[in-house]
Structure 1
Amino acid sequence: MTEQTKDKSNPKASMGFWKVWSMTVGVMVGSGIFLLPAVLAPFGSLGFLGWLMTSVGAILIALILGRLAARTERTGGPYAYAHDAFGPLAGFLVGWGYWLAVVFAIAAISVAFAGYLAALVPAIAANTALQAASAIAMIWALTLVNIRGVSEAASIQLLMAVLKLVPLLVIIWLGFRAGSVENIPPFNPSGQAILPALAATALLTMWAFLGIEAGVVPAEDVIDPKRTIPRAVVFGTVCVTFIYIASTAAVMMLVPADVLATSTAPFVDAAKSLGSIGAPLIAIGALIATAGSLNGNILLGGQMPLAAALDGLAPKFLTRRNQGQAPYFALLISSSISSVLLLFNYADGLVSTFTFLISMSTLATLTPYAVSALADLRFSWKSAKGWAVICLLAIAYTLMAMIGSGLKVLVWGIPLLAAGVPVYFLIRQRGETK
């Protein structure tokens, strides 16, 4: 990328193709993939159809996000798309919900990080206070990296994205070299009808693709964003699709179906073929995966409030950036709230509450996908019928996933998102909007 091209956008932009790719891959590939083979085991080889359905849905969403990114260079991703298509209130509500999702995700992923660290350090495993301290320490270590600057955070993200793929690629190689297709369970041993079973596997695998939008959010920090973002986001989603399907197949070939169905660490069981080095390799890989996902979410926790504040839809102090272009106030606020939520997780009686809030944050993450597809549909309906069909398919898939969240989550999650309405009008009343 030449300086001339760089100057077409933000002259201080520092994120090229691979850094945007690493945001997409790094946020998507978290701790979930390390458990999904066991979760899918009761459905047997039908799980591959679930992966295929979800992969198609994810790629459709990636195509839509990439196309919308080519229309604007503004930071905010789904927030910016909703704002441009449907006005400031819609944009604010999408940004509000997405920010809540990111804040809860930071807390949850840091807890997962502490759990994997405990697998390597027995002293931490025996002490919940040390687990909480480890999780909070990781949040703030990566927050400080992000405060140093967007370029530094993106460089760390690229490194982690590459490193986290190493153990997964090792398992894929091992599975197709030493595994047996006889270990792959039969088609749909769950006993459910095919359509409900397929819907269940599709919804389970959808969680592993949350984060598709991560690469489109920091648009103002991307070199030549209208060209870079669409290519990086779509290519990143395709890469993740291959990794997920191939690694699931490899684990199923390495671990007998009856063992896999009750496994709490399927990749560790699969890595036993490597001897004593196998389990530590996977544990370290899981640590890197969760750290990378955590770093990406912390970056998003600064970028989303920044985008709203730049449009006058959030307090103006959130627009403050340092020499590294980092929105330090937004980062500090998001990480502080996440730290409090994390401490709630370690308080007696609040674990189930925290888990429920994480489910609602997942619902809040799905909402921007649907709104982004609606935004592209509005732009494409008359001028690009083919894209309009893609938008309709993406909307249908996203709504199916949202309904799959369950009635209880919807009953609580929708009011949580709607709470953004009075916040929006309060900000307007105080004269914070343009």
Structure 2
Amino acid sequence: MEKVMGFWRCWGLVIGIVIGNGIFMVPAVLAPFGKMSLVGWVIAGVGTIFVALMFGLLAKRNALIGGPYAYTRAAFGDLAGFLIGWGYWIAILTAIAAGSLAITGYLGVFFPVVTETPLNSAIVSLSLIWLVTGFNLTGVKATSTFLLVTSLIKILPLFIIAGGGLFISGTFSTEVIVPKGEATFQNISEMIMIIMWAYIGAEAVTLPSDGMISPQKNIPKALIAGTISVMIVYVLVSYSVMALIPMDVLAVSTSPIADAASIIFGPWGARLIAIVALISIISNLNANIFIVGVMPQAMSQDKNFPEYFTNLNDHGVPKVAIVFSGVLASLLVAMNFSDGLIGAFKTLILLSTLATLLPYIASSLAELVLQKKEYSEHKKRKWSSFLIAVIALIFSVFALIGSGLMIALQGTILIAAGLPFYFWVKRKARKIDQ
């Protein structure tokens, strides 16, 4: 890859991945939790900051291509690294599928026919995946520039929504439409799991390190700055949306931020925010497709994936990895549309979040193992680094509990499905070496 990504492009990648469809769709999914979800946004934000700090420690030590996969492999070996890389790849694939659904939902503001039937929505979602995949094949410079520009465009209108909502809402709608408003351990954990969909992704800036300028310096800075920026935006916007829209209405909304904008500014406001949401989610879809090829490419370089996944086009982009990933993301869209747009979206975000939290846990453990190794080599232990890794680990495990049995089972099956593939690749590599 071309080394064109400095701090601001890295920051744009963080914002582009993290602020995507989550803040534009998750408020509707969280409506059953009522006012308790505001506390959830803060808890998840603080926890994510510790996760970002943990990845910053890993990147500062060694900015390896492949991010969580590479760190886990360095600490625990090929098999553990492969399973985490495979799981993280699944997470990005499901994020791509969910992102295409979210764009389709907001297109319905302008063209209602798009969301009239599951078939219409599926066709539009699949078309979006392949349009953005084609753009990503044009190279890192064009993709990262688009990410930076769209990241700047989408933040300002979100602050306007937050300010407008706080200004005109005299009361805060806190009614709860189902018993999930009770602050039980399971409810809080499930809520954090859903909210984490809106926060996950910052760690992806560690993947394309070979395309960055001074990655050991810029990755940690971009991780922290980006995560804090996101948390501020999320808390303010979520409060405003919940203050403006009754919970029963919010729970069935396919474009909650646009609905809030229509209350503040009238019909034109809804259309304006729908445009911003589309820019934001397209930016997010672009970011995920940008990084989705890096994971199989990194594993292929280590002989943990078929060698043709390292094939690059004339622009230095892993073409086979990106196109093959587009095919799999398309299958995920097609498989989940029987539940309708919101039902499919919720299933995909829970599955993607589960598949991302596992690499968080593995990376936290990898950081602790690497710290222990450094300590055994008579280097001074940094207790602040130890605490960061431990808190990131505890938070990730807590969020993981909220996935529920069915999603956890599906996620386990998907990750375990990689084992036969791993052993087949290793066997083939041994034959070539012989």
Which one is further off, 159-168 or 215-224? 159-168
Using the TM superposition, give the Cα deviation of residue 293 of structure 1 relative to its aligned residue in structure 2, in angstroms. 1.4
Aligned partners of 1:135 and 1:15: how far apart in 2? Answer: 29
Q: Residue 323 of structure 1: CA displacement? A: 3.4
CA-CA distance at 1:328 after TM superposition: 0.9
What is the letter of the counterpart of residue 364 of structure 1?
A
Gaps of 5+ in 1: 1-9
Tell whether the 8 Å contact from 2:9 to 2:147 is kept in structure 1 after alignment: yes
Q: Quick check: 135-144 or 328-337, which moved more? A: 135-144
For residues 321-376 of structure 1, give each alpha carbon's deviation from its aligned partner in whole angstroms, at most 9, with x where no partner exists: 23322111111111122223323345799997896565333311111111111111
1:38 and 1:350 map into 2 onto residues whose CA distance is: 12
Deviation of 1:273 after TM superposition, in Å, equals: 2.0
Which of 99, 117, 121 matches 2:111? 121
**Which one of 57, 69, 76 corresponds to residue 86 of structure 1?**
76
Q: Does 1:308 align with 2:299?
A: yes
For the aligned residues, what is the CA RMSD?
2.8
Match of 2:378 in 1: none
Residue equivalent to 2:414: 416
Equivalent-residue separation in structure 1 for 2:40 and 2:141 (angstroms): 37
Measure, in 2, the Cα distance between the counterparts of 1:19 and 1:312.
30
Please tell me whether the aligned partners of residues 102 and 345 of structure 2 are also in contact (alpha carbons under 8 angstroms).
Answer: no
1:323 aligns with 2:314: yes
Q: Report deviation, 1:264.
A: 4.9
Q: Distance in 2 between matches of 1:40 and 1:137?
A: 29
Pairing 1:243–2:243 present:
no
350-359 or 143-152: bigger deviation: 350-359
**Relative to structure 1, is the Cα distance of residues 346 and 51 closer, same or farther in structure 2, using a 3 angstrom cutoff?**
closer
- 1:375-390 pair list within 5 angstroms: 375-381=366-372, 382=375, 383-390=381-388
Query: Secondary structure of 1:148's partner?
Result: coil
Match of 1:369 in 2: 360
Confirm or deny: 8 A CA contact 2:29 2:346 kept in the other structure: no
1:185 corresponds to 2:174: yes
Whether the 8 Å contact between 1:28 and 1:211 is mirrored in structure 2 is yes
CA 1:195–1:364 in structure 2 vs 1: closer, same or farther (change >3 Å)? closer
Structure 2 Cα separation of the partners of residues 125 and 259 of structure 1: 18
Structure 2: any 5+ residue segments left out of the alignment? 376-380
Corresponding residue of 1:397: 395
TM-score of the pair, normalised by structure 2: 0.88
Q: For residues 183-225 of structure 1, give each alpha carbon's deviation from its aligned partner in whole angstroms, at most 9, with x where no partner exists.
A: 2538999662465554444333222112121211111111110
Give the conservation status (yes or no) of the 8 Å contact 1:183–1:255.
Answer: no
**Distance between the aligned counterparts of 1:141 and 1:207, measured in 2?**
24
Shift of residue 112, structure 1, vs aligned partner? 2.1
1:40 is displaced (CA, Å) by 4.0
Deviation at 1:420, TM superposition (A): 2.0
- SS of structure 1 residue aligned to 2:266: helix
Equivalent pair of 1:104/1:357 in contact (CA under 8 Å): yes
State the alpha-carbon separation in 2 of the partners of residues 231 and 204 from structure 1. Answer: 26
Residues 49 and 198 in structure 1, CA contact (< 8 A), matched pair in contact too = no
> Kindly tell me: are residues 283 and 354 of structure 1, through their superposed partners in 2, closer, same or farther at Cα, counting changes over 3 Å?
closer
| 1-structure distance, mates of 2:250, 2:403 | 25
Task: Verify the 8 A CA contact 1:344 1:350 in the aligned structure 2.
Answer: no
Q: Which residue does the alignment assign to 2:133?
A: 143
Q: Of the candidates 9, 12, 18, which is equivalent to residue 8 of structure 2?
A: 18
